[in-house]
Amino acid sequence: MTTSLSVNINKIATLRNARGENNPDLLKVALDCERFGADGITVHPRPDERHIKRNDVFQLRPALKSEFNIEGYPSPEFMDLVLKVKPAQVTLVPDAPDALTSSAGWNVADNFDFLTSIVNALHEAGIRSSIFVSTDIDNIMLAAKTGTDRVELYTKPYADAFFANPEKAVAPFVEASRAAHKAGLGVNAGHDLSLQNLRYFAQSVPFLNEVSIGHALICDALYMGLAETIRSYKDCLAK
């Protein structure tokens, strides 16, 4: 099974917003990512629009040929946006509106009814759902009970522990992915994946449908260029 690469383009919007005009052109970068081999494009529109703006999401939707993944906290405003735009996938993250970046998965038990109703609303609109979670197996089993199609495993703990002991770092993710697959869930992964740690992750973790990568990939593109960078990330995913 091949693992898809979804490129998170939030950082491109951050750079653009720094000068208030349209350089770099977010839409062009997204289309170039596709041209260079990305299997999907991810955005995280936040309420303060500090990177991706609501309008970007509407512009991207009809232009993209690959899978569009919108991630965010399912506030009424966020749900209004995604139900209008109807991307291929919505990834539900629990972070507060002013969070620098997502820093934890959902506690599904505490949010079970809420998540179930959100997953239902997405399904009624024909949108695939993914719930951002840690590797806690009981939590993943509860996520399955919401009816979600997939979970996204929060990989920062893997990235942090990778250099000291890769085998130990990846072990909980191997177990979590197996359990999720057994419960009928698809498995995505993301956060702090990089050219250093991605190949080992993709080779070790079974049933990996998709990785979503932003920060490290855009940083690498400063030195390697976007085309070469995307080729290199795709190469890490080649089995």
Give the residues lining the site for ligand PXP (CB under 6 A): 8, 10, 44, 71, 91, 93, 101-102, 132, 152, 190-193, 212-216
Whole-number minimum distance, CB 150 to ligand PXP, in Å? 12
* CB neighbourhood size of 132 (10 A): 23
**Residue 21 or 102 having the CB closest to ligand PXP:** 102
Q: Which two tokens stand for residue 3?
A: 């693992």
Is the separation of the CB atoms in 212 and 6 below 8 Å?
yes
Q: What is the largest CA-CA distance in the chain?
A: 48
**What whole-number distance in Å separates Cα of residue 57 and Cα of residue 65?**
14
**What whole-number distance in Å separates Cα of residue 23 and Cα of residue 228?**
21
**Residue 10 or 21 having the CB closest to ligand PXP:** 10
Whole-number minimum distance, CB 72 to ligand PXP, in Å? 8
Q: Which residues pair with 208 in a beta bridge?
A: 187
Q: Which residues pair with 151 in a beta bridge?
A: 131, 187
Whole-number minimum distance, CB 192 to ligand PXP, in Å? 5
Closest by CA to 45, choosing from 55, 33, 32, 37, is 55
**Residue 87 or 190 having the CB closest to ligand PXP:** 190
Closest by CA to 234, choosing from 33, 91, 67, is 33
Whole-number minimum distance, CB 64 to ligand PXP, in Å? 18
Clarify whether 71 is annotated catalytic: yes
**Residue 40 or 190 having the CB closest to ligand PXP:** 190
- Report the residue closest to ligand PXP, judged by CB: 190
Single out the catalytic residue among 44, 67, 152, 210: 44
Reduce the DSSP state of residue 121 to 3 states and report it.
helix
Clarify whether 51 is annotated catalytic: no
3-state helix vs strand vs coil in the chain, percent to 5: 50, 15, 35
Clarify whether 123 is annotated catalytic: no
76-109 per-residue burial string, b: 16 or more CB within 10 A, e: under 16: eebbebbeebebbbbbbbbbeeeeeebeebbebe
Whole-number minimum distance, CB 68 to ligand PXP, in Å? 15
Point out the residues that are catalytic: 44, 71, 191
